[in-house]
A and B are shown apart, each in its own frame.
Chain A
Amino acid sequence: MSTQNKIGVLNIAENLQLDLDTDTWVCGRCSCVIGSAHENVKHSLLVGERDPTEVHPPLIMGQPYSFAPNPEWVRILEFYCPSCGVQIETEYLPPGHPITYTTEIDLAALKNRLNQGEMVIENGHLKVVTT
């Protein structure tokens, strides 16, 4: 693909980008290619499970409710870039609850609008072209 036909890289989250020329997820911190943008990005990230009391410690000892979430009710899932370890997503879920497919961009529709000139990417964000 020649440079002049390149679409660009779009910011999807604080540390996640979408390369619309290669249809890949890219780490916003280390710029590594994470995986195919036709897949749920979480499938390409490392998943770390945390006991919620590691993040929200109990402040009152010996009492049933202590400001810390109950680890039997909820766990924290952390999703890391497999290259640099930046934390791209987190989700609080009861143990065993299906992991949410949070962001499912319609790639074809997005590319169509960009190719039609309805939108351009400026500084990593979409800008609607006003006529």
Chain B
Amino acid sequence: MSYPTVEEKLASLKITPATPHELRCMEKVSRGSYEIAVQRTADILDEGYEIFMRSSRSSMGVAGDSIVAMFSAHGDLVNASAGTYLHAIIPPIVIKYILKKYRENPGINDGDIFYTNDALYGGIHNPDQVAIMPVFHAGELVAWTAALSHTTETGACEPGGMPLSATSRFEEGMNLPPMKIGQNFRINNDIIELFSAFGIRAEANVTVDLKARCTTADRVRTRLVEMCEREGADFVTGLFRRMLIEAETGARKRLMTWPDGVYRCVTFSDAAGLKRGLIRNCFLTMTKRADHLTIDFTGTSPENLSSYNAHPQAVIGHLANYIYEYVFHDLPISSATFAPLDFIFPEASCLSPTPRAATSNAVMICTGAMSAIANCISRARFPSEDWHQTTASMGNGGNAPVIAGTSQWQMPFADMIAYTINTEGQGARCTHDGMDAYGFPWCAFGRAPDVESMENEFPMLVPFSQHWPDSGGHGKFRGGCGTTQFWSVHHVPMLFFLSIADNSSLQTPQPLFGGYAPPTVPGITIKDTKVTELLARLDDGTLDFHALIRGDFGEVQTEPNGRSARPVEADKTISVLMSTGGAGYGDPLDRDPALVQKDLLAGLCSAWSAREIYQVVWDPVRERVDVPATESAREATRKRRLARGKPYVEFEKEWSKRKPPEEIMNLYGSWPDAKPLAPVFRP
């Protein structure tokens, strides 16, 4: 085996130095031609992205949880259309691996299609798969194209591609190292059969998504060949090199606007797969010097015997979700924007595990890194002229309900209920609340499907989808509210259900500048009910979130939200699905009472929170805030804080003697520095 080392993967993220030929080509690209051609690359990629969504079969692909990208002949990312920025990081690692290992055998030729989904070789996790095609013109390799998306079935030990119970990569189904799956612009039939076999639970999703990736990569390839024919291959070569240089220049210029310093954030979660326990899922130290960032994960908990581990490039991909969306939003999605960033990963940690580790839930352990990078960058950025783009972290819950079985159309399927994951609340902004039901923190442009479409596709009933009140972290500006849904099996006798989630005992995101985090998310089920009868008598009351958790429609049972695959019978069980709210910003006592009033009237804030958190005196009859009484209440609360608060030294003296209960320390590592206590053995 020759999978790349961590050092080789990190080196592949750096752009290849310009050759003399590239520099000569670049000089021939005039400023005006450059501007037009950059836009042309964006148009080509947007066309590819649209084709990708329309060609995909699984919910994530249809929702646009994907990326379409083009690369230089060396494999450096030049531009992309997204989708999810997560995928932008990894293809250069794979393309550079192909260039290094496969030039002679199996060879790199016009019409070849390469493919991989293996995180050991540079992927995110094995549901995320990429088709890659070289672009040849007049016999010369001039570029590469790629299409990446998430397919919710891999033939793992549980349906849905992200098995909670996997303890090693051997339980995660299909893991393909970079390989040639087609030539002469055709996918090999034996490969399609391989995918069918691994995807037997949802063959249509798996094989159609495979073809969608290849179709998309080829469309972008075709457009680049047309550009070569129109403008000349040297023009494309020069254009790509100039795009890399401009992107790096822009990124460095932005970093120069922040004050130098060290910024830290530590985050936690409460489970790794089905194993409950405290885990320090990210200890991030970001050192900013001039136009350079060093991002160090030393102090993160050890790897574990679950699928909640992530290889380093996957972690960096999760940083890209925030960085491209909030920091480099006006620059090309390019390897060059990450050129000023270097990374340090502690060995055998959950963010840099050993090769046999299960990583199919990399996206879940990376919620810490996603949250921490938002927090650190916001701290570095607030003093700068871009201060108004400072935000608290997204909720980064990623709570993903998976259902599997046979549909009402007699089709085997395994898929996610995409509405839930695509309606999380945005982190509070420093000038506004976070947007309610903003989207999917992993996929800024993902679309929540209509409930009616989901009910037509899958054998289920979703009688309501609504905002989840109080789900955004409180603050001067609150996190955006997430959503809640009622779900039950319909049309078929039973389905399998599992829930990819954590954080029923604590939340991962840290708030910003005095705000609060979002609440935790339990797994909620109402059993032994009769759903159809319940719906028939809805004239008697209201079916909403509060009625459900109050027990109006049956006894409520809770458990950790992360749940393994289990059968659910039709008509007898209600599952309540939740998508997390964003973290809060600033002291809640600074919140404009008028905003609290607006939230109360909209049902987004409870009377309890208005009174206890925001100290707003509210007249529910007149539906007005008593402003003078509110001011008095807030001043009294500040005085209570002064009475309650202790000087730091005095507080820390007592605080540092405490420790969480021993029974929840099984995943954490040594206390408090989270170093490995023993090696992890996987047969």
Interfacial residues, chain A to chain B (CB-CB below 8 A): 10-16, 18, 42-49, 52, 54-57, 59-60, 63-70, 72-74, 76, 78-80, 82, 84-106, 109-110, 122, 125-128
Asked if B198 is at the interface (CB within 8 A of a chain A CB), the reply is no
Measured CB to CB, the nearest residue on chain A to B651 is: A47
Which B residues touch A80, using CB under 8 A? 638, 641-642, 645
Report how far A52 CA is from B261 CA in the complex, Å: 31
Contact A42 B648 (CB under 8 A): yes
Report how far A103 CA is from B378 CA in the complex, Å: 11
- Which residue of B256, B268, B521 contacts A67 across the interface (Cβ within 8 Å)? B521
- Which residue of B507, B514, B560, B660 contacts A87 across the interface (Cβ within 8 Å)? B514
Contact with A along B634-675 (1 / 0, CB 8 A): 000111011011111101100111111100100000001000
Minimum CB–CB distance for B214 against chain A, Å: 44
Which A residues touch B649, using CB under 8 A? 43
Asked if B222 is at the interface (CB within 8 A of a chain A CB), the reply is no
Report how far A44 CA is from B650 CA in the complex, Å: 11
- Which residue of B257, B375, B504, B515 contacts A65 across the interface (Cβ within 8 Å)? B504
- Determine, out of B55-63, B383-391, B443-451, the stretch whose residues face the partner at the interface: B383-391
Asked if B476 is at the interface (CB within 8 A of a chain A CB), the reply is yes
Contact A13 B513 (CB under 8 A): yes
Given A49-B651, A95-B660, A90 and B559 contact (CB-CB distance below 8 Å): no
Which B residues touch A90, using CB under 8 A? 510-511, 514-516
- Shortest Cβ-Cβ A-B pairs, 7 listed: A46-B645, A85-B638, A96-B658, A65-B522, A87-B514, A87-B587, A106-B260
Contact B430 A14 (CB under 8 A): yes
Contact B660 A66 (CB under 8 A): no
Contact A100 B264 (CB under 8 A): yes
Contact B557 A63 (CB under 8 A): yes
Contact B660 A73 (CB under 8 A): yes
Contact A13 B382 (CB under 8 A): yes
Minimum CB–CB distance for B445 against chain A, Å: 29
Contact B379 A48 (CB under 8 A): no
- Which residue of A54, A74, A104 contacts B262 across the interface (Cβ within 8 Å)? A104
Given A14-B514, A49-B651, A78-B641, A56 and B520 contact (CB-CB distance below 8 Å): yes
Contact B522 A66 (CB under 8 A): yes
7 A-B pairs with CB atoms under 8 Å apart are A48-B641, A96-B660, A99-B652, A104-B262, A105-B259, A105-B261, A122-B385
Contact A65 B560 (CB under 8 A): yes
Asked if B136 is at the interface (CB within 8 A of a chain A CB), the reply is no
Which B residues touch A85, using CB under 8 A? 637-639, 641-642, 645
Which B residues touch A56, using CB under 8 A? 516, 519-520
The residue in A42, A89, A92 that gathers the most chain B C-beta atoms within 10 A of its C-beta is A92
The residue in A12, A90, A128 that gathers the most chain B C-beta atoms within 10 A of its C-beta is A90
Report how far A48 CA is from B587 CA in the complex, Å: 14
Contact A128 B383 (CB under 8 A): no
Report how far A105 CA is from B258 CA in the complex, Å: 10
Which B residues touch A101, using CB under 8 A? 262, 264
Contact B507 A92 (CB under 8 A): yes
